[in-house]
Structure 1
């Protein structure tokens, strides 16, 4: 139904943005990967996936067509919903996801929060051939941006994690890493521990 939305970013956080398109504000859920790409922009174009359920009509936005295509592939797998698809795209890069599926790396996929051995095997079984056919065109590079622990905490809470638990895990990660981590790195490390 919708191909993309292009407009002014009125509000942005690691899990969603409000995009003003000619005076209409769209609430668009995003992955951490997309947040990393649009974080410093005032205007942007998001490729969208419109998901309809009985109780909600939801827009998911992606900075690149390749990430949206991967999201749609993920949703085609039995047992993978839109929130799980977004969690997968927020946990590891789309390039790593595709590589893990194509190579049959169950352990890499199982590191993602909420993905057990059966789901990991199902992802590989159902998507391996599709992703092999797409080849390098579907691979997406991840830009790196500096950010703060508060943004990481907000993202984790919005993804449904307990705030106190998330704060504790983030504090441990920051203490263990002498160098400053990006918001993306903080969230990925926290997702592995929560």
Structure 2
């Protein structure tokens, strides 16, 4: 089992990071929290969760153990798979998610793609007694240095591409992203994606 991978950040998008360690490039699926934490770094250490199936071998990478622990807890909820768990951790920081579960905020959970009323209730029931220790933890690094965004900016294209990878249709995604950019042109790419996740 791989505990973590420490190496050079070869490539990074809001949904994937490639770390090179000992001459091997590891492709890891990441959340927005992890993207924010490592986006400007040349080297990074990501804690790993492996998903091994007959048709796939996937690696999920997390900037903190806290986020990985929450990911594992989410996977333990009936009906929640790796992509949905990553979507939840892209919409909320670990501390925010812990607070949402503790306060039984079904509405916020339902705002995440793939989470309906029943799934939201299952997450709350299954995790309420398990997330108390996560409240008050950061689990992520806030974005530093906002980047200017315009309608034709690569950041907009990156946001749309990331949301498409997460399962959203390109056309409505483009519309929502453009609306966000119009209202707040200085929003960094991870901010655009976080807002879009709650609007789509």
Q: TM-score range by the shorter chain?
A: over 0.9
Per mean C-alpha deviation after superposition, the further-off stretch among 179-188 and 57-66 is: 179-188
Please list, as runs of the form range in 1=range in 2, the aligned pairs for 1:48-127 lying within 5 A after superposition: 48-127=48-127
Deviations 1:64-120 (A, max 9, x none): 110000100100100000000001011122211111011211112111122111111
Secondary structure of 2:48's counterpart equals strand
Secondary structure of 2:108's counterpart equals helix
Aligned-pair RMSD on alpha carbons?
A: 1.6
* Structure 1 segments (4+ residues) deviating >6 Å: none
TM-score, normalised to structure 1's length? 0.93
Offset, 1:154: 2.0
- Go from structure 1 to structure 2 and tell me whether the alpha carbon gap of 1:139 and 1:76 turns closer, same or farther (over 3 Å shift): farther
Alpha-carbon distance between aligned partners in 2 of 1:34 and 1:95, rounded to the nearest angstrom: 14
User: Higher helix fraction: Structure 1 or Structure 2?
Assistant: 1
Secondary structure of 1:54's counterpart equals coil
Matched-pair contact (CA < 8 Å) for 1:29–1:60: yes
Offset, 1:150: 2.5
| Long gaps (5+) in structure 1 | none
Offset, 1:158: 1.6
Find 1:155's aligned residue among 138, 157, 162. Answer: 162
TM-score, normalised to structure 2's length? 0.90
| Long gaps (5+) in structure 2 | 148-154
Correspondence for 1:181: 187
Alpha-carbon distance between aligned partners in 1 of 2:156 and 2:138, rounded to the nearest angstrom: 28
Alpha-carbon distance between aligned partners in 2 of 1:82 and 1:138, rounded to the nearest angstrom: 22
